[in-house]
Chains A and B, each alone.
Chain A
């Protein structure tokens, strides 16, 4: 079981629940998830918070079968079969990884538009960890 402590998970709630990103004050690029130093200009540690829309396109994806599933997701895979995980190119610029939900694995494609929504990610220490997953953009927000 990957151990992500309760405080460690809690610290990322603005990103996980609402996709809050950081806009570099110097170069204007959006960093998501956050970094100490802007990834794009490497010249600034000052950011403005920016609310990302959660919309993007699939840049690449994998279909995880039982052999490729970490223990936290083993039951999910057994109950529901193969699940897609994608790196999504968000409209605002950054790319981020996330599971794809509510989609037939056979219909997931590179360049498919998706949007983020709140889902249950996993449970550890009896605490439910919620976060974003991506759903096909056509299925409504």
Chain B
């Protein structure tokens, strides 16, 4: 029985800051290809954003929250490191207390981790409905160049066995040991990156290409079968680097390349990118999604669009709804002036 995406919703906070404002403050801006990024408002966080996109995704089906049988939340920047995060979201959205929920938090792969958890639930419960919410607003020290590209955003997907927008054809994963790239220990509030650039890049390329290649082999697909390819976006250039290794073209990347306008969305990067690809897709298109989380692991998802129905709130609408702030206001809102 086919399972897949029956609804989706996305939210990009409206505050934006341009790369030029960084360059004025620091003399440079490190995130390649990112021209501006989104900033979480003072009274928002990944949980309020997850609640918002969850509602949007359910309304796009439409499906009542009481019909959700599985909930999975993904974020690397939740406000608690120990506390059941899903609790806030399920109570706010009205999902039954008896629903099994899981919090996925330890790397930017968390968005697809949550997706696959939901897919596994549907394999065992074909008449169920799973809600996946990925919301992230990663933070690093203002002195750290990894901070430059960190943005904010959220997207949610409803996965079901009927009423599909896109079918899930299959998925594959790759997990291994790696370290020294983007990480945060229990003592830290802020991200580190040792900036051993080639070493880190090699891990990302290795993981993503392994997961993507193994999926295509499993499904008997070739790179040119995909009209849309969404790859993890710590900046707007990494996807091209990976694409080149897998014989995907930049044209295939373009529909999902949201990082140019919003920056690095962490665990939400691939899910928001997927929403953008869905918005742009036509019936019959195939979408490849490949995530990456440092430390390290990747998931690859293959989807086929089967319906013309789309979300009511488009990614482009969210991108267009914006208000620029300067670097000082950015510091105030991030609470970075202590």
Given contacts A79-B333, A80-B333, contact A118 B51 (CB under 8 A): yes
CB pair A120–B45 under 8 Å, yes or no, is yes
Residue of B nearest to A17 (CB): B92
The stretch among B36-44, B152-160, B227-235 that forms the contact with chain A is: B36-44
- Taken together as a complex, chains A and B put the C-alpha atoms of A101 and B55 apart, in Å, by 18
- Taken together as a complex, chains A and B put the C-alpha atoms of A80 and B44 apart, in Å, by 13
Q: In the complex, what residues of B have CB within 8 A of residue A133's CB?
A: 43
What distance in Å separates the Cβ of A113 from its nearest Cβ neighbour in chain B?
A: 17
CB pair A102–B41 under 8 Å, yes or no, is yes
CB pair B92–A120 under 8 Å, yes or no, is no
1/0 per residue B4-46: CB within 8 Å of A?
Answer: 0000000000100000000000000000000000000111110
Asked if B47 CB lies within 8 Å of chain A CBs, one says yes
What distance in Å separates the Cβ of A115 from its nearest Cβ neighbour in chain B?
A: 11
- Taken together as a complex, chains A and B put the C-alpha atoms of A130 and B333 apart, in Å, by 18
Q: In the complex, what residues of B have CB within 8 A of residue A39's CB?
A: none
Q: In the complex, what residues of B have CB within 8 A of residue A102's CB?
A: 14, 41
Asked if A128 CB lies within 8 Å of chain B CBs, one says yes
Range of interface residues on A (Cβ < 8 Å): 20 to 34
Given contacts A78-B332, A102-B14, A130-B88, contact A51 B94 (CB under 8 A): yes
CB pair B43–A121 under 8 Å, yes or no, is yes
Asked if A95 CB lies within 8 Å of chain B CBs, one says no
1/0 per residue A119-141: CB within 8 Å of B?
Answer: 11100000010100100000111
Q: Which of B44, B94, B317, B329 is in CB contact (< 8 Å) with A120?
A: B44
Interface centre among A117, A119, A139 (most CB of B within 10 A): A119
Asked if A18 CB lies within 8 Å of chain B CBs, one says yes
What distance in Å separates the Cβ of B96 from its nearest Cβ neighbour in chain A?
A: 13
A contact face: mostly helix, strand, loop, or mixed:
mixed
CB pair B43–A17 under 8 Å, yes or no, is no
CB pair A119–B48 under 8 Å, yes or no, is yes
Q: Which of B42, B47, B51 is in CB contact (< 8 Å) with A80?
A: B42
Given contacts A17-B91, A18-B91, A128-B79, contact A141 B56 (CB under 8 A): yes
- Taken together as a complex, chains A and B put the C-alpha atoms of A13 and B94 apart, in Å, by 12
Asked if B59 CB lies within 8 Å of chain A CBs, one says yes
Q: Which of B43, B51, B56 is in CB contact (< 8 Å) with A101?
A: B43
- Taken together as a complex, chains A and B put the C-alpha atoms of A133 and B94 apart, in Å, by 17
- Taken together as a complex, chains A and B put the C-alpha atoms of A18 and B91 apart, in Å, by 8
Q: Which residues of A contact B (CB under 8 A)?
A: 13, 17-18, 51, 75-76, 78-80, 99, 101-102, 117-121, 128, 130, 133, 139-141
Give 21 A-B contacts (CB < 8 Å), ordered by A residue. A13-B91, A17-B91, A18-B92, A76-B42, A79-B42, A79-B332, A80-B333, A99-B43, A102-B14, A102-B41, A117-B51, A118-B47, A118-B48, A119-B43, A119-B48, A128-B80, A130-B47, A130-B88, A139-B321, A140-B56, A141-B56
Name 6 extra pairs, CB < 8 A, besides A80-B329, A118-B47: A78-B332, A79-B42, A79-B332, A101-B43, A119-B43, A141-B59
